[in-house]
Amino acid sequence: MTIVLGILTEVRENQQVASFVISHVQKWKDPKLAWNPADHSGLTQVVMPRSLVWVPKLFIYNSMDTKDMLTDDRYDVRIQHTGHVKVNSPQFVSTLCRINIDLFPFDTQFCAIALASPLLSVEEMDVNATQPPVDSYFSGNAEWQVMNVTVKQMKFMEEGEYRAEVHYILHLNRRPTYYITVIVVPTFLISALSILGIFSPGSNDGPRNEKVSLGLGSLLAMTVLLDIVAGAMPKSDAIPLLGYYIMLVILLCAIGVAVSMAMLSMSRSCIQTSKMPPPHYYRLLFLNVCRVVKQNNGVNGVPMNEKPTTITPRFPDLISIYNQLIEVARAQRTYRERIEKQKWQHRVEIEWNKIFARVDFFFLFLFEMFNVLVLVLFLRYAFLPVPPLPENFSI
Same domain, 108 and 139: yes
Q: Phi and psi of 373, rounded to 5°?
A: -60, -45
Same domain, 196 and 149: no
Average pLDDT, the chain: 85
Residue 79 is predicted with a pLDDT of 96
- Find residue 85's DSSP bridge partners: 28, 79
Residue 369 is predicted with a pLDDT of 97
CB atoms within 10 A of CB 74: 10
Of the residues 159, 175, 191, which one is the last residue of a structural domain?
175
Residue 202 is predicted with a pLDDT of 58
DSSP 232-294: HS-SSS---HHHHHHHHHHHHHHHHHHHHHHHHHHHHHHHHTT-PPPHHHHHHTT-PPP----
CB atoms within 10 A of CB 65: 11
Share above pLDDT 70 across residues of the chain, in percent, rounded to a whole number: 89
- Domain that includes residue 243, residue range: 178-395
Residue 194 is predicted with a pLDDT of 86
Same domain, 184 and 92: no
Same domain, 275 and 297: yes
Residues 6+ apart with CB under 8 A from 18: 8, 10, 11, 12, 94, 95, 97, 109, 111, 170, 172
Strand order in the sheet with 108-116: 59-60, 108-116, 161-174, 144-158
Same domain, 211 and 295: yes
Banded model confidence at residue 290, pLDDT cuts 50, 70, 90: low
| Region of poorest pLDDT, from 85-99, 116-130, 234-248, 296-310 | 296-310
Q: Which residue has the higher pLDDT, 222 or 313?
A: 222
pLDDT in tens, 330-354: 888 888 888 888 888 888 788 888 8
Same domain, 80 and 104: yes
pLDDT in tens, 148-169: 999 999 988 888 888 889 999 9
Same domain, 126 and 255: no
Same domain, 225 and 362: yes
Same domain, 112 and 187: no
pLDDT in tens, 189-226: 988 988 888 887 654 455 556 766 777 777 788 888 77
Banded model confidence at residue 299, pLDDT cuts 50, 70, 90: very low
Q: Which residue has the higher pLDDT, 291 or 126?
A: 126
Q: What mean pLDDT comes out for the span 341-368?
A: 86
Same domain, 272 and 379: yes
CA distances from 16 to 10, 20, 113, 354 (A): 11, 14, 14, 57
Q: Is the pLDDT score of 111 beyond 60?
A: yes
Rounded Cα distance, 275 and 277, in Å = 6
Nearest to 260 by CA among 301, 220, 218, 293: 218
CATH number, residue 115 = 2.70.170.10
Same domain, 108 and 76: yes
pLDDT in tens, 5-22: 999 999 998 889 999 999
How many domains is the chain partitioned into structurally?
2
Of the residues 175, 198, 220, which one is the last residue of a structural domain?
175
Of the residues 123, 153, 175, which one is the last residue of a structural domain?
175
Nearest to 164 by CA among 193, 121, 222: 121
Same domain, 184 and 107: no
CA distances from 386 to 89, 132, 379 (A): 31, 20, 15
